[in-house]
Amino acid sequence: MPTLPDHTPIAAAALGQGRGPQAAKAEILWPTPARVLSTDVLRVDAREKVTGEAKYASDVQPPGWLYAMILRSRWAAAKVTAIDTSEALKVPGVKSIVLAGGEQRRVRYYGTELAAVAATSKQACLDALRAIKVTAEPLPFVVDERDAMKEDAPRVFDGPNLSAPGVKQEGDVANALSSAAAVVEGELSTQVQIHHPLESHGNTIVVKDDGATVWASTQGIFSVRDGIAGNLKLPQSNVQVICDYMGGGFGAKFGPGVEGGLAARLSKETGLPVKLMLTRLEEGLAVGNRPSSIQKIKMGASADGKLTAFEAETVGTPGTGGGGETAGGSGGANVATPYIYKVPNFKVQQRAVATNAGASRAFRAPAHPQGSFGTECMLDDLAVKLGIDPVEIRILNDPGENRRKEYALGRDKFGWKEKYKKPGSSPGPIKTGVGCAGATWGGGGRGTRAEAQINSDGTVEVRVGTQDLGTGSRTLVAMVAAEAFGIRPDQVVARIGDTRFPPSGASGGSTTTASLCPGVWDACQNALAELKTRSGMADVAGPNWAVACRKIGINPISAQGEWKQGLSSSGSGGVQFVEVEVDTDTGYIRVKKVLALMDCGLIVNTLTTTSQINSGIIMGMSYALHEERVMDKATGVVLNHSFDTYKITNLADTPEIECILLNMPERGVIGIAEVSNVPTASAIANAVANAIGVRVPSLPITPAKVLAALGKVPKMSA
Amino acid sequence: MSPDSSSQPPASSGTGFNRRSFLRGLGTTVVAAASAQVNAVAQEVGKAAGPGVQGPGAVPVTLKINGKPVKLTLEPRVTLLEALRNSTANTGAKEVCDRATCGACTVLLDGKPIYACSALAIDCEGSEIITVEGLAKDGKLTPVQQAFVECDAMMCGFCTPGFVLSVTALLKEKPRPTEAEVRHACAGNLCRCGTYPHVLKAALKAGGVKVAENTTTVINYADIA
């Protein structure tokens, strides 16, 4: 996805789903004005979450359950020749040990699964892991992407580490650069970011002869079901996956994973339930990350600020991901550049470089934060060079009408004109600065089925085979049903997180809300029609509800429905404004304020939408200032896997956040989880540059990099 | 929970040494070669604890959890978090980092918030352990829990029990906390979803501090010029 000239239709097409707003306008099916939708509704499962009653995959305790752990390679590259489990099997409490990939195999990163043990306690597992003897021939390896690009670097796979470049171009970029009124160029880089959902990857699994039950921490219950069924050679119909609650995924939790397959085999071997949740170290090593990027960019504009030329060469590492056995990365490290901007003359060359590190996975708006950072930073530098206000240059160049309006609105609300000063010009050692950036994402809906049941006592049950990643899916199901039936959300029992319910897709690409709300609405409309028929009443809502339901008879009304076009669309745009303080003596950055403006389509729940935007901003800030995976070149291990050394934003760091939501009910439901995350880091980077008067071209923007940019300490080698 | 001394478990009445003196006693052995480490640790434990050393086999332990004594048989190396999650049904305290950095395992030990991952269960004998399951009485949420519900101070909910307990402990010390005090008290709890603004709001609300009701404005796109 190298270019996204106009955010709405293009982003939708890029994701292969959804439709633009124009198409959605053809038929408006959501009620206007809405009664329940677009209001603040408290989470229907909030009580369970504040009392500890909410049971996650890691919490369930089926009778006789065994603890399980994984033995992982301590070589970044090696030929494993033997795995001896005989001593480990003698450890008291150990019930079974299974190998992950045969006894003799090639490993390509520190953390590759070798074996798994199930035992009656965690302590027995730990003892058993220590007692497994692995014999291996260590091989040369490389974990640093710059090292991996060198001619003589050890090869991660059989082919070269560096992939052939993917090239996209239009117009004549060389000519456009030479005739531009101003040109800026730079090398910008972004780090490898680890997903780190607080609940680690894992499952609790019970395998019996004729089927299996899986409590999964997952973004896709059906993909886990199919994966486990395939692994155990069981009919899919006999595998039930349950995910009542899950502790975060951010793109790294699709499918059962290697750990799910191992847990299933251990359960099958022992005939007992097995709980296998990864440790924090394993989260750092093996279950996903956002690829790094190094972006060499040249950007040119006319004297009035109109972009005329854009040239970029990018490379990043997806670790061992996206490469297969014969070549380096296959585009898994591409960045979305020149991101939201339409530049008439551009040339973008992108490559990936394989390293001996855990494979990247989808991570909240894959490719976008990296692309945004490179493009938006250069655009600000260009604005400074031309003497144009950064908001002005965006309004001039951004092809998205929604974002242009957001910039204009946000500029006033934020007090941009008063706050924006010449870079580095604020007095004293603590300098203030402001920055802004924009973003896009698809976030459309797709086929979800739902089932609505109305009982004669007026209670309602809605069943959808989706999962709640923390976005409030269960609450949204209740709200949509309440809207349809003219009742309160607390009169609806929303049942989700079970593959025995009508199927819904995996939760990725900000598609969950836009998928399930239309499906639920349609099911409820069908149930409502049936209720009207059975009760003989034309109006069954509100005060008539109980009377109508009493006429249902013995069999409850049950109706299915499905996602329908027109009830959702895709293509969301957002912009953010940031104010920072930078201490030029210490390099410490304090983010004071973030203002987010977001076009949201039909806002379903204003309260949980706000939470989601806060979420995006805080994770973006964490990416901007704190997070970075550090690899040890000597051993290939991730040095900073846990939160004492892998810093993430905490409450003490959290800035004041203000959200302005643009409600566009005529477009239907659109997901905003990813678009809200993208621009924050770029806006912070621009605010820092505005504060100190020099660009820090590398994420995370640490105090050391700030001081280096100011010339107060030597620059670190890359 | 603030990452200060209050997050350490108090000295145990049962075994005669605590984590801090244990670590101090280890001295240089923590950096010794891995192969020698187990023996060295065992020797140092022996020195620190004297003849009363327990283990390595399982020993009977009685933990007072949410007001009820619970008899367990645990190896001395089992942490309080492991005991709660693996040997009782109290799974509200979550395992996230297992090294005292994230606060998801926060429980109250004699009223003080501690990281349950970094206290040995046997050291908690004789102490009052309150987990998130022990807060609501007769199904009635505490003001802190209620404020979390009303402020949407949770997303996936995995960190929520830890935050609820850290804020509960703070309000016991400071019934009307300032914003800075909430930020400090919760600096040892991490949330990956980024619910912090609503957690802050909930803590202040539970403390009866007036907070801005809404920082979100909804504008109909059609109304924008």
DSSP string for A76-118: SSEEEEEEE-HHHHTSTTEEEEEESS-SSEEE-STT-EEEEEE
- Out of B104, B136, B152, whose CB is closest to A51? B136
Do both A582 and A616 map to the same domain?
yes
Determine, for residues A643 and B102 on separate chains, whether the beta-carbon distance falls below 8 Å: yes
Do both B113 and B166 map to the same domain?
no
Residue B36: phi and psi, rounded to 5, are: -90, -10
Q: For A55, which residue in chain B has the nearest alpha carbon?
A: B91
Of all residues in chain A, the percent with pLDDT exceeding 70 is 94
Q: From CA A65, how far away is CA A423, in angstroms rounded? A: 61
**Predicted confidence band of residue B224 (pLDDT cuts 50, 70, 90):** confident
Count of all residues that appear for chain A in the document: 718
Within a domain: A329: no
**Predicted confidence band of residue A33 (pLDDT cuts 50, 70, 90):** confident
Within a domain: A52: no
Determine, for residues B160 and A50 on separate chains, whether the beta-carbon distance falls below 8 Å: yes
Do both B140 and B130 map to the same domain?
no
Peptide bond preceding A92 in cis form (omega within 30 of 0): no
Looking at the complex, report in whole angstroms how far the Cα of residue A477 sits from the nearest Cα belonging to chain B: 16
Do both A503 and A618 map to the same domain?
no
Q: What's the CATH number where B80 sits?
A: 3.10.20.30
Over the stretch B183-197, which tens digit does the pLDDT of each residue have?
Answer: 999 999 999 999 999
Please state, rounded to an integer, the average pLDDT across all residues of chain A. 93
The mean pLDDT of A243-248, rounded to a whole number, is: 98
Flag whether pLDDT at B11 surpasses 80.
no
- Residue where a domain stops, chosen among B105, B134, B163: B134
- Rounded to two decimals, the pTM is 0.92
Q: For A121, which residue in chain B has the nearest alpha carbon?
A: B86
* Range list of H helices, chain B: 19-26, 34-49, 80-87, 143-150, 160-173, 179-185, 196-206
> By C-alpha distance, which of A656, A661, A664, A655 is closest to A597?
A661
Q: Domain count for chain A, please give it.
A: 3
Dihedral (CA of A675, A678, A682, A685) sign: positive
The predicted structure's pLDDT at residue B37:
55
A321: part of which helix (H) or strand (E)?
Answer: none
Within a domain: A449: yes
Which residue type sits at B49?
A
Which residue type sits at A236?
Q
Over the stretch B68-98, which tens digit does the pLDDT of each residue have?
Answer: 999 999 999 999 999 999 999 999 999 999 9
Determine, for residues A643 and B97 on separate chains, whether the beta-carbon distance falls below 8 Å: yes
- Out of A50, A122, A609, whose CB is closest to B149? A50
Flag whether pLDDT at A462 surpasses 80.
yes
Residue showing tokens 């090593």: A285
C-alpha angle A189-A195-A200 in degrees, rounded to nearest 5: 160
Do both A112 and A252 map to the same domain?
yes
Do both A230 and A99 map to the same domain?
yes
Residues of B in contact with A46 (CB under 8 A): 148-149, 152, 154
Do both B130 and B165 map to the same domain?
no
Residues of A in contact with B187 (CB under 8 A): 650-652
Q: For B35, which residue in chain A has the nearest alpha carbon?
A: A130
Do both A579 and A718 map to the same domain?
yes
Q: From CA B196, how far away is CA B182, in angstroms rounded? A: 11
The mean pLDDT of A587-598, rounded to a whole number, is: 98
Do both B222 and B172 map to the same domain?
yes
Determine, for residues B194 and A617 on separate chains, whether the beta-carbon distance falls below 8 Å: yes
Taking only Cα atoms into account, the Rg of chain A, rounded to an integer number of angstroms, comes to 27
Q: Look up residue A626 and give its two tokens.
A: 């704190």
Beta bridge partners of A638: A631
Asked if residue A147 lies in contact with residue A97, where contact means CB atoms within 8 angstroms, the answer is no
- Residue where a domain stops, chosen among A500, A533, A562: A562
Q: From CA A205, how far away is CA B215, in angstroms rounded? A: 43
Q: From CA A682, how far away is CA A373, in angstroms rounded? A: 5
The mean pLDDT of A538-559, rounded to a whole number, is: 95
Determine, for residues A470 and B155 on separate chains, whether the beta-carbon distance falls below 8 Å: yes
- Residue where a domain stops, chosen among A507, A534, A562: A562
Q: Look up residue A569 and give its two tokens.
A: 């669309």
The predicted structure's pLDDT at residue B50:
60
- Residue where a domain stops, chosen among B103, B119, B134: B134
Looking at the complex, report in whole angstroms how far the Cα of residue B24 sits from the nearest Cα belonging to chain A: 21
The predicted structure's pLDDT at residue A48:
98
Asked if residue A131 lies in contact with residue A97, where contact means CB atoms within 8 angstroms, the answer is no
Within a domain: A458: yes
Q: For A123, which residue in chain B has the nearest alpha carbon?
A: B78
Asked if residue A181 lies in contact with residue A319, where contact means CB atoms within 8 angstroms, the answer is no
The 3-state DSSP composition of chain A as helix, strand, coil percent (nearest 5) reads 30, 25, 45
Determine, for residues A614 and B186 on separate chains, whether the beta-carbon distance falls below 8 Å: no
Of all residues in chain A, the percent with pLDDT exceeding 90 is 90
Residues of A in contact with B184 (CB under 8 A): 652
- Out of B92, B155, B159, whose CB is closest to A52? B92
Q: From CA A526, how far away is CA B108, in angstroms rounded? A: 50
Within a domain: B31: no
Q: Look up residue A621 and give its two tokens.
A: 């800030």
Q: Report yes or no: A651 at the B interface, CB cutoff 8 Å.
A: yes
Do both B148 and B217 map to the same domain?
yes
Do both B126 and B140 map to the same domain?
no
Q: Domain count for chain B, please give it.
A: 2
Flag whether pLDDT at B32 surpasses 70.
no
Q: From CA A143, how far away is CA A123, in angstroms rounded? A: 32
Q: From CA A697, how far away is CA A624, in angstroms rounded? A: 11
Determine, for residues B194 and A47 on separate chains, whether the beta-carbon distance falls below 8 Å: no
A640: part of which helix (H) or strand (E)?
Answer: none
Do both A575 and A681 map to the same domain?
yes
- Out of A603, A609, A651, whose CB is closest to B199? A651
Do both A551 and A472 map to the same domain?
yes
Parent domain of B153 = 135-225
- Residue where a domain stops, chosen among A248, A277, A306: A277
Do both B191 and B221 map to the same domain?
yes
Within a domain: A387: no
* A558, HSE (Cβ side, Cα atoms, 13 Å): 7
The mean pLDDT of A151-167, rounded to a whole number, is: 93
Residue showing tokens 């692309």: A371
Q: Look up residue A247 and give its two tokens.
A: 């502790």
The predicted structure's pLDDT at residue B53:
78
Over the stretch A303-317, which tens digit does the pLDDT of each residue have?
Answer: 999 999 999 999 999
**Predicted confidence band of residue B215 (pLDDT cuts 50, 70, 90):** confident
Q: Beta-carbon neighbour count of residue A143 at 10 Å? A: 26
Residues of B in contact with A245 (CB under 8 A): 156-157
Residues of B in contact with A659 (CB under 8 A): 215-217
Do both A671 and A648 map to the same domain?
yes
- Residue where a domain stops, chosen among B89, B110, B134: B134
Do both B98 and B114 map to the same domain?
yes
Q: From CA A654, how far away is CA A251, in angstroms rounded? A: 23
Q: For B102, which residue in chain A has the nearest alpha carbon?
A: A643
- Out of B89, B100, B220, whose CB is closest to A663? B220
A280: part of which helix (H) or strand (E)?
Answer: helix A280-286
The mean pLDDT of B59-72, rounded to a whole number, is: 98
Q: From CA A164, how far away is CA A688, in angstroms rounded? A: 35
Within a domain: B222: yes
Looking at the complex, report in whole angstroms how far the Cα of residue A137 sits from the nearest Cα belonging to chain B: 21
Over the stretch B130-158, which tens digit does the pLDDT of each residue have?
Answer: 999 999 999 999 999 999 999 999 999 99
Within a domain: A53: no
The interface residues of chain A toward chain B in range 257-286, judged by CB-CB distance below 8 A, are 277, 279-280
Do both B215 and B147 map to the same domain?
yes
Within a domain: A155: no
Which residue type sits at A10?
I
Determine, for residues A248 and B154 on separate chains, whether the beta-carbon distance falls below 8 Å: no
**Predicted confidence band of residue A27 (pLDDT cuts 50, 70, 90):** low
Looking at the complex, report in whole angstroms how far the Cα of residue A344 sits from the nearest Cα belonging to chain B: 29
Do both A547 and A412 map to the same domain?
no
The predicted structure's pLDDT at residue A443:
85
Residues of A in contact with B198 (CB under 8 A): 611, 614
Beta bridge partners of A316: A352
The mean pLDDT of A102-125, rounded to a whole number, is: 96
Calculate the alpha carbon distances from A525 to A24, A486, A522, A590 in Å.
19, 12, 5, 50
Q: For A246, which residue in chain B has the nearest alpha carbon?
A: B156
Within a domain: B36: no
Within a domain: B83: yes
Within a domain: A292: no
Determine, for residues A662 and B98 on separate chains, whether the beta-carbon distance falls below 8 Å: no
Within a domain: B38: no
Do both B209 and B156 map to the same domain?
yes
A66: part of which helix (H) or strand (E)?
Answer: strand A66-72
Q: What's the CATH number where A715 sits?
A: 3.30.365.10
Residues of A in contact with B155 (CB under 8 A): 248, 470-472, 611-612, 615
C-alpha angle A618-A624-A627 in degrees, rounded to nearest 5: 85
Determine, for residues A123 and B75 on separate chains, whether the beta-carbon distance falls below 8 Å: yes
The helix/strand/coil state of B218 is strand
Q: What's the CATH number where B144 sits?
A: 1.10.150.120
> By C-alpha distance, which of B156, B149, B109 is closest to B128?
B109
**Per-residue three-class SS string for A323-381:** CCCCCCCCCCCCCCCCECCCCCEEEEEEEEECCCCCCCCCCCCCCHHHHHHHHHHHHHH
Looking at the complex, report in whole angstroms how far the Cα of residue A222 sits from the nearest Cα belonging to chain B: 20
Do both B139 and B225 map to the same domain?
yes
The predicted structure's pLDDT at residue B8:
38
Determine, for residues A198 and B159 on separate chains, whether the beta-carbon distance falls below 8 Å: yes
Do both A547 and A577 map to the same domain?
no
ipTM of the complex: 0.94
Q: Mutating which of A404, A617, A651 best tests the B interface, going by the most B Cβ atoms within 10 A?
A: A651
Within a domain: B210: yes
Peptide bond preceding A338 in cis form (omega within 30 of 0): yes
Flag whether pLDDT at B10 surpasses 80.
no
Do both A470 and A615 map to the same domain?
no
Do both B146 and B214 map to the same domain?
yes
Looking at the complex, report in whole angstroms how far the Cα of residue A661 sits from the nearest Cα belonging to chain B: 5
Asked if residue A605 lies in contact with residue B146, where contact means CB atoms within 8 angstroms, the answer is no
* Range list of H helices, A586-716: 606-625, 679-692, 703-709
Parent domain of A422 = 1-26+400-443+570-718
The predicted structure's pLDDT at residue A321:
86
Q: For A199, which residue in chain B has the nearest alpha carbon?
A: B96
Flag whether pLDDT at B222 surpasses 90.
no
Q: Report yes or no: A58 at the B interface, CB cutoff 8 Å.
A: yes
Please state, rounded to an integer, the average pLDDT across all residues of chain B. 85
Q: How far apart are the first and last CA of chain A?
A: 27
Do both A540 and A574 map to the same domain?
no
- Which residues have a Cβ under 8 Å from the Cβ of A217 and sit 6 or more positions away? A56, A57, A58, A197, A199, A200, A201, A202, A203, A243, A246, A247, A249, A253, A277
